[in-house]
Structure 1
Amino acid sequence: MRWNDLYIAGVGSYLPEQVETADEAIAAGRYTSKKKAVNGYRAVRVAAPGEIGPMMAAKAGRQAVERSGHDPEEFGLVLHSYLGHPGLDMWTPASYVQRETVGGSGPAYEIKQGCNGMLAALELGGSFVTGRPDVTAALVTAGDAFRMPYIDRWGTDEQTVEGDGAAAFVLSSRGGFARVRSTFSIGDSSLESMGRSGAAWTDVPFPGGETIRVSARKRDYLLAEDLELDGAIEKIAGNVKYSLEHALKEAEVESADIRFFLHQHIAESIATHAIYGLLGVDRATSTFDWGLDLGMVGTADPVLGLDHVIATRSPRPGDIAVLQGAGAGYVWSVAVLEFLETPHWAA
């Protein structure tokens, strides 16, 4: 979809101070040298005791709101996404984030679409802001703290390593430092069972207190008798490429125009094939190497990358940034942004 009056007015991020390295995890028997060599992760950030994802999201959200120049009463929507346990069951973390940031009487909703949640929220929030004359701004946040025994950041997935942290951005119909030129999302539910294959239905969350094993579900999926592996890979690769091509077409942008390509902190082996090889993206335009010291921070990676390039790479008016994500289920999203100015907090 091409957007005419949708802007990013502020961006915020929060990363805990504590660092846990891959070498420390290897020494503790939680990771292996082989996985480190293949996946590329060097370290992650670890939330302090009692520091939950919504708390970190609220910190990032307050920073984004302050930078945006919007008053709290201008916000008509808050969207919050996450992957892991938000601190309590039967609770409303989106409303908590709203209370801790902008308050007000607008609705607060959770967006749950795996690792793609934050980019999905950008597209949904954009529709809300531009379609409601009484709404000027929306706050979008993401935050996760991955803890044992529910999730083993070094072992729940054979390829991905999870890091703690949060990010936020403000969508505005009034103006901002960047214009959203286009967004595009595409889904393929035929791949949904990849996230649950071999897992039995449960009556309660976290039954038995056993650590989630995402990789075991993937193995069961790949071993299913009726699965055509080549067909599944073709679908995934095809939709990664199609979503980018479609978003660029809607934005009237060529791939050569991209200065920043901001994607998830996936394993290096996957990024090399599915991003740089498949899409022809120049790795130097990304923040991927920086992200190998953070791990995959829930749904927040592309927005963390956006905040990072603002702070370190001197974006200029006219620069194009592409945010790309995917979430199991499967849904792929791409957003194309054009910098209108260097954000005032980076000048």
Structure 2
Amino acid sequence: MRWNNLYVAGVGTYLPERIETAAEAIADGRYTAERQAVNGYRSVRLAAPDETGPIMAAQAGRQAVARSGHASEEFGLVLHSYIGHQGLDLWTPASYVQRETVGGSAVAFEIKQGCNGMMAAVEVAASYLTSRPDITAALITGGDAFRMPFIDRWGSDEQTVEGDGAGALVLSTRAGFARVRATFSIGDSSLEPMGRAGNNWTDTPFQDGEPVGVAARKKSYLLAEDMDLEGAIDKISANVQLSLKQVLLEAEAELSDIRFFLHQNIADSIASHAIYGLLGVDRSTSTYDWGQGLGMVGTADPVIGLDHVIATRNPKPGDLAVLHGAGAGYVWTVAVLEFLETPEWND
């Protein structure tokens, strides 16, 4: 979708202070040197006991709102995304984030589609804002604290390692430091069983008391008798390529025009194949080497990456950035931003 008069007015990040290294996890028997060599993660951030996903999202949200220059009453929408447990069951974390950031009478919704949740929220918010002339701004947040025994950050998945933290972004129809040129999303529900295979339905959350077995589900999916592995890989690869091709087409840009390519902190083996090899992305345009010290921060990696390049790489007017997301289900969302100015936050 090509957008007109849609801007990014503010971004925010919250990362816990405590750091746990891959070497520490290996020494404790919670990770292996073999996985670390393939996946590349150096360390993750660990949330304190009182730092839940919504609490960290609210911290990042307050920073993004303050940087945006928008008054609380200008916000007509709050979207919150996440992957893991948010601290309470039968509760509304999006409304908590709203209460702790902009308050007011805006509607607050959750957007959940695995790791793609926050990028999906960007496209949903863009559609909402541009169809509602009475609303000026939307706050989008993503926050997660991955805790045992629900999720084993070093062992639930053989490739991805999860890190705690949050990101936030303010979309505006009034003004911002960057304009949203285009977004594009595509899904392929035929791949949905990859996140479910080998499991029975349960009556309650976390019924068996064991950490979520993402790797086991993938293995069950791949070992199914009717599984067409090459077909599944072809579908994923085709949609990764199509989503980038289409968003660049609608943004009237070429890959060579992109200064920053901000993708999720996936395992190095996946990034090397599915981003740098498959798409032809120059790794130096990404924040990935920096992100290997954070792990995959739930749904927030591309936005945290955007905040990082603003702080460290001096983006200039006219520079283009791609924010690239993918989530189990499968759904891909990609956005192209054009910097209009170099933000100088006064935090």
What TM-score bracket applies, with the shorter chain setting the length? Answer: over 0.9
Residue in 2 that maps onto 1:317: 317
Aligned counterpart, 1:305: 305
Q: Helix, strand or coil: the match of 2:208?
A: helix
Q: Which runs of 5+ in 2 are unaligned?
A: none
Alignment-derived partner of residue 48 in structure 2: 48
2: CA distance, partners of 1:346 / 1:120: 29
Alpha-carbon offset, residue 133 of structure 1: 1.0
Q: Could you list the per-position Cα deviations for residues 183-239 of structure 1 after superposition, in whole angstroms to 9, with x for gaps in the alignment? A: 000000000000000011000000121111100000000001111100000000000
The whole-number CA distance in structure 1 between the counterparts of 2:99 and 2:183 is 29
The Cα RMSD (Å) is 0.9
Contact 1:58 1:101 in 2 (8 A): yes
Are 1:295 and 2:295 matched, yes or no? yes
C-alpha distance in 2 between matches for 1:346 and 1:131:
32
Counterpart in 1 of 2:22? 22
Read off the aligned partner of 1:6 and give its amino acid letter. Answer: L
Question: What is residue 82 of structure 1 aligned with on the other side?
Answer: 82
Alignment of 1:121-140 (within 5 A): 121-140=121-140
Match of 1:219 in 2: 219
Cα distance in structure 1, aligned partners of 2:179 and 2:344: 15
Residue type at the aligned position of 1:157: D
Q: Displacement of 1:346 after TM fit? A: 7.8
* Structure-2-length-normalised TM-score: 0.99
| Residue 100 (structure 1) aligns with | 100
With normalisation by structure 1, the TM-score equals 0.99
Measured against aligned partners, the alpha-carbon deviations of 1:9-33 in whole angstroms (never above 9, x if no partner) come to 0000000000000000001100000
What residue number does 2:339 align with?
Answer: 339
Three-state SS of the structure 2 residue aligned to 1:218 is helix
Q: Counterpart amino acid of 2:309?
A: V
Contact 1:310-1:346 within 8 A present in 2 as well = no
Structure 1 residue ranges (4+ consecutive) displaced by more than 3 angstroms after TM superposition: none
- Summarize the alignment of residues 179-198 of structure 1 with structure 2, pairs less than 5 Å apart: 179-198=179-198
Query: Where does residue 279 of structure 2 map in the other structure?
Result: 279
Question: Conserved in 2, the CA contact under 8 Å of 1:311 and 1:346?
Answer: no
Q: 1:122 Cα deviation (Å)? A: 0.3
Cα deviations by residue, 1:237-286 (Å, 9 ceiling, x for unpaired): 00001000000000000110000000000000000000000000000000
Report Cα offsets for 1:137-156 as digits up to 9, x if no partner.
00000000000000000000
Identity of aligned residues (%): 75
Q: For residue 33 of structure 1, what is the amino acid of its counterpart?
A: A
One-letter code of the match for 2:40? G
Give secondary structure in 1 for the equivalent of 2:126. helix
Q: 1:165-180 alignment to 2 at 5 Å?
A: 165-180=165-180
Aligned partners of 1:133, 1:323: CA distance in 2, in Å? 26
2:51 & 2:14 partners in 1: Cα distance? 12
1:50 shift after superposition:
2.0
Contact 1:260 1:322 in 2 (8 A): yes
Distance 2:211 2:169 in 1: 32
Q: How many residues align?
A: 347
Secondary structure, counterpart of 2:91 in structure 1 = coil
Q: CA deviation at 1:130?
A: 1.1
